[in-house]
């Protein structure tokens, strides 16, 4: 009895601390110390058999899963749109292209999967104004060859039942950060609810995270508790920054191939969006079989070019990349076919990483010869202010960016109400 009481008390303390700390992360008030029981937190990862890969930070590399990287054929349109230039990215692309055309494989040694940073001397030699780059760009360049970070928290059974792969209709893969607990919890309570929807369509949800940077508090223990409670966190061992969203894309492709191989559609998006899940499923169900296998759907940005102002978040130096951007779906939220996962994953080994993830995704799809498809229900640049909390406006929309947790909860309750008439 005493042992059971102690266990209950420990659990209560952990949960109380988790709720209190997360709830205060975005408030300008001091967070009092929270005493956790003296139990080591285990970061556990695994492959489909369930064998642990990472336990207490120790990696059993003999058990790390692998995905075959196939030879790819880049579309003529993609080749033609990338100008031959002295810009660093362009030179890397064409250097790799020569090897691809000659041998059909450029993976080694041009693109390395190890985590050794690229030397400053190498970058200064190849980029004349490298020292003038903002620090976030310099950090990106030092690690843009890195492809294989360790996974710290995994959900290997997310898409399985009784040891067999589920036929998942829609997988929500949401980019998040450690401190955004309120956003994740809102999604769990609203449009990201897992389970079977009308006509037996199965929905699963995962949140994709990196590691906290050295300037952020270490939330690893809280994430471990959250992962055990909800079973939907995927955490990799790389710095969670804006320019590493491309790396998030790459590692998520690999995870999906390994752990969700029979998924029909994948929704990639941010954690501050609103998705009309039932309407989205209805649309996906209406697709003709011939349109399903090459789907890349969202709000499409056409004829875009790099922004050259260093003060802008999306700044790309001319000495790094020269040329236009391909048509691409806005990264706030888009859908693509699960049948494309292996091709996309392979393509990310052949095309040098780009610091803006949705542009890079557009590059990969264009390289595969797949054009993005526009849908007016995707509003990744928000809607008119007067319509932001109107459920009747949202009833026919599929995705709206951006929403606070409070806006999402209010809107979801209204849309789900049987009293709503539009």
The pLDDT tens digits of the residues spanning 105-139 come to 655 544 555 678 999 999 999 999 999 999 999 99
Burial of 227 (0-12, 13-18, 19+ CB in 10 A): buried
Number of other residues whose CB lies within 10 A of the CB of residue 167: 13
Maximum alpha-carbon separation in the chain: 74
Residues of the chain with CATH 3.90.550.50: 151-416
Is 3's pLDDT higher than 90? Answer: no
Instruction: Report the candidate in 277, 164, 179, 186 with the shortest Cα–Cα distance to residue 230.
Output: 186
Task: Supply the CATH classification number for the domain 151-416.
Answer: 3.90.550.50
Sign of CA dihedral 401, 406, 409, 411: negative
CA 97 to centroid of chain Cα atoms: 27
Query: What pLDDT is attached to residue 111?
Result: 53
Q: What percent of the chain has pLDDT over 90?
A: 72
Token duo for residue 380: 């990744």
The per-residue pLDDT for range 266-311, each reduced to its tens digit, is 999 999 999 999 999 999 999 988 778 999 999 999 999 999 999 9
Residues ≥6 apart with Cβ < 8 Å to 8: none
**Residue 145 to residue 208: CA distance in whole angstroms:** 20
- Mean pLDDT lowest for which of 10-19, 113-122, 373-382? 10-19
Instruction: Report the candidate in 22, 408, 398 with the shortest Cα–Cα distance to residue 186.
Output: 408
């Amino acid at each position: 009895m005493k042992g059971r009481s102690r266990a209950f008390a420990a659990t209560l303390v952990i949960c109380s601390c988790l709720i209190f700390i997360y709830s205060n992360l975005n408030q300008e008030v001091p967070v009092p110390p929270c005493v956790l029981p003296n139990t080591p937190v285990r970061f556990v990862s695994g492959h489909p058999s369930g064998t642990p890969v990472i336990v207490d930070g120790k990696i059993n590399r003999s058990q790390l899963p692998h995905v075959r990287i196939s030879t790819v054929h880049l579309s003529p349109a993609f080749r033609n749109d990338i100008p031959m230039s002295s810009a660093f990215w362009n030179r890397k692309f064409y250097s790799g292209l020569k090897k691809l055309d000659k041998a059909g494989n450029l993976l080694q040694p041009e693109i390395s999967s190890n985590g050794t940073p690229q030397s400053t001397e190498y970058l200064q030699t190849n980029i004349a104004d490298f020292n003038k780059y903002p620090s976030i760009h310099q950090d990106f360049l030092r690690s843009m060859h890195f492809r294989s970070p360790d996974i710290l928290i995994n959900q290997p059974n997310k898409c399985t039942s009784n040891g067999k792969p589920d036929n998942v209709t829609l997988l929500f893969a949401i980019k998040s950060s450690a401190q955004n607990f309120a956003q994740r919890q809102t999604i769990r309570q609203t449009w990201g609810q897992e389970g079977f929807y009308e006509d037996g369509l199965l929905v699963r949800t995962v949140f994709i995270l990196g590691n906290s940077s050295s300037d952020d508090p270490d939330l690893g223990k809280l994430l471990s508790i959250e992962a055990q409670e909800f079973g939907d966190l995927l955490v990799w061992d790389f710095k969670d920054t804006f320019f590493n969203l491309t790396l998030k894309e790459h590692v998520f492709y690999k995870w999906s191939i390994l752990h969700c191989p029979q998924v029909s559609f994948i929704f990639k998006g941010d954690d501050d969006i609103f998705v009309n899940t039932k309407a989205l499923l209805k649309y996906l169900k209406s697709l003709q079989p011939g349109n399903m296998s090459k789907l890349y759907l969202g709000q499409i940005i056409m004829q875009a070019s790099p922004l050259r102002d260093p003060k802008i978040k999306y700044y790309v130096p001319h000495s790094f990349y020269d040329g236009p951007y391909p048509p691409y779906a806005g990264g706030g939220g888009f859908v693509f076919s699960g049948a494309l996962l292996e091709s996309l994953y392979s393509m990310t080994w052949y095309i040098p990483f780009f610091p803006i993830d949705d542009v890079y995704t557009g590059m990969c799809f264009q390289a595969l010869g797949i054009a993005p498809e526009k849908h007016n229900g995707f509003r990744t640049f928000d809607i008119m202010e007067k319509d932001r909390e109107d459920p009747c406006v949202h009833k026919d929309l599929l995705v709206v960016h951006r929403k606070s947790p409070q806006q999402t909860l209010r809107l979801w309750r209204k849309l789900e109400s049987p009293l709503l008439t539009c």
